[in-house]
Amino acid sequence: MRLNIALLLTSNVVLATSFIINPLGSTIAPTTSQSRGILAAPFSTHLSVLTSGQSDTEVASSSSSTRSPLGIPGTADLEWEGLGFEFRPTKSNLRITYKDGEWGEFELCEDPTINIHMGATALHYGQACFEGLKAFTHPDGTVHVFRPKENAYRLSTSCTRVVMPVLPEATFLNAVNEVVRDNIEYVPPYGSGGALYLRPLLFGSGPRIGLQPADEYTFILMVMPVGDYYKGGLASPVDGLLITDFDRAAPRGVGNVKVAGNYAADMLPNMVSKSKGFPIGLYLDAKTQSMVEEFSTSNFVGIDSKNNKYVTPKSASVLPSITNKSLMTIASDEGMVVEEREVQLDELESFDEVLACGTAVVVTPVGSITLLGDVEDPDDVEASDVKKFVFGDSSEVGPVTRNLYDRVRAIQYGEEEDRYGWNMKIE
């Protein structure tokens, strides 16, 4: 089984690298009603597939001099303050189709709708995965995407797990550059506190009725300006609920990849938690129910200030967060002891601060986590089943959380030197 999957995926990669290249670059073909036209991969002649040691900075530094000038971020007619996190139409989305064993050319489309076969494997069998990353305007007006190579890599792990063809890293990075370039006016201006959220989506669009992988796939890269995921952002710690009657991911399931089904599994517990007054839900490990795993849409981090420790759960069913990886680097550079290990539920008592981290939530302080047990009413604090873990002064942002937030934001917004090479400049 393992060998067959490996062969299948190897052949996908080989075929995918025969991507059609128009060396002249950025010409846009005549438009149709749905599509603004085919865009040949503009940087492909300059860009080789990177090895894992290269920084994101190196990726887009080889732009062609024949390109039209980049527009100005933040010039779309929008209220930039208080954007929130919701779908918003922009100028275009970028699409690439995989057919006959290879990825095709880029297409920039104005239409936000898609027309797919009713037998598409994404719809029936959940052959679908997605990513999330952000672009930021720097003080000098340039626009930079945070760690896109990491998203290209994680997308490839999701594709591999649900037997979809891998999109080559260089194609992914080119697509990111092209779609941000085309939607540059929707990148929130520097100082607004917002970002352009990029949502790559890859799914089986070809039909199957027996259970097997599709032979056609669609990659879509949509973008939209966003602000805070949780109302109030950093200033307002959120209260969490321990989810005890559902599991997010099985030990050897798909929790460590970003496939659509993980979010379907979370939809009901998530809505129930919110209806009880808890904006964020925390999952335990499915096997023993004794270890902390992660929140629905973000990783868990506990701060033990007395021992100067940054503690985050290590588990095969947690999604490897790019934000968490970045915070671990920053924390360790600041002299904190970073521990990525099993975290027992009882250990919640020992944390002075807890934070949720992810692209959408950035760094969100968590003021408390409540274990309701069989108690229905969250206000029934007298009930013996109810246990509430409170972190520091639960209504204030803790100093470590604030510092980690400030440091990662300063790098993303170009206020601090990008010494790790995390920002990819849009050319």
When asked if residue 359 is in the footprint of ligand COI (CB under 6 A), the reply is yes
When asked if residue 364 is in the footprint of ligand COI (CB under 6 A), the reply is no
When asked if residue 315 is in the footprint of ligand PLP (CB under 6 A), the reply is no
Catalytic residue among 134, 258, 325, 425: 258
Cα 362 off chain centre by: 10
Number of residues that bind ligand COI (CB under 6 A): 6
Closer CB to ligand COI, residue 36 or residue 134? Answer: 134
Please report, in angstroms and rounded to a whole number, the separation of the first and last CA atoms in the chain.
43
List, in order, residues 6 or more apart from 363 with CB less than 8 Å away. Answer: 234, 323, 327, 355, 356, 357, 401, 404, 405, 408
Output the smallest distance, CB 359 to ligand PLP, in A: 3
List, in order, residues 6 or more apart from 288 with CB less than 8 Å away. Answer: none
Checking DSSP bridges between strand 280-284 and strand 238-243, what pairing results, if any? parallel
Output the smallest distance, CB 79 to ligand PLP, in A: 25
Given ligand PLP, ligand COI, none, residue 256, with its beta carbon under 5 to 8 Å by kind, binds none
Applying CB under 6 A, which of residues 169, 182, 285, 294 lies at the interface with ligand PLP? 294
Closer CB to ligand PLP, residue 42 or residue 313? Answer: 313
When asked if residue 285 is in the footprint of ligand PLP (CB under 6 A), the reply is no
Applying CB under 6 A, which of residues 42, 358, 365, 398 lies at the interface with ligand COI? 358
Angle at 205 between CA 9 and CA 178, to 5 degrees: 80
**CA–CA distance, 203 with 216 (Å, rounded to integer):** 9
| Residue 17 DSSP class | T
**238: three-class secondary structure by DSSP:** strand
Q: Where are the beta strands (DSSP E) in 255-324?
A: 280-284, 292-295, 299-304, 309-313
Given ligand COI, ligand PLP, none, residue 412, with its beta carbon under 5 to 8 Å by kind, binds none
φ and ψ at residue 292, rounded to 5 degrees: -75, 135
When asked if residue 360 is in the footprint of ligand COI (CB under 6 A), the reply is yes
When asked if residue 412 is in the footprint of ligand PLP (CB under 6 A), the reply is no
Which of the stretches 188-196, 272-280, 314-322, 383-391 binds ligand PLP when contact is defined by CB under 6 A? 314-322
Number of residues that bind ligand PLP (CB under 6 A): 12
When asked if residue 358 is in the footprint of ligand PLP (CB under 6 A), the reply is yes
Output the smallest distance, CB 53 to ligand COI, in A: 25
Applying CB under 6 A, which of residues 90, 270, 297, 299 lies at the interface with ligand COI? 297
List, in order, residues 6 or more apart from 289 with CB less than 8 Å away. Answer: 244
Q: Is 231 a catalytic residue?
A: no
Tell me which amino acid residue 142 is: T
- Residue 253 has which token pair? 């399931």
When asked if residue 319 is in the footprint of ligand PLP (CB under 6 A), the reply is yes
**CA–CA distance, 29 with 239 (Å, rounded to integer):** 51
**CA–CA distance, 211 with 199 (Å, rounded to integer):** 27
Closest residue by beta carbon to ligand COI: 132
Positions that interact with ligand COI (CB under 6 A): 132, 263, 297, 358-360
Positions that interact with ligand PLP (CB under 6 A): 132, 294, 297-299, 319, 321-324, 358-359
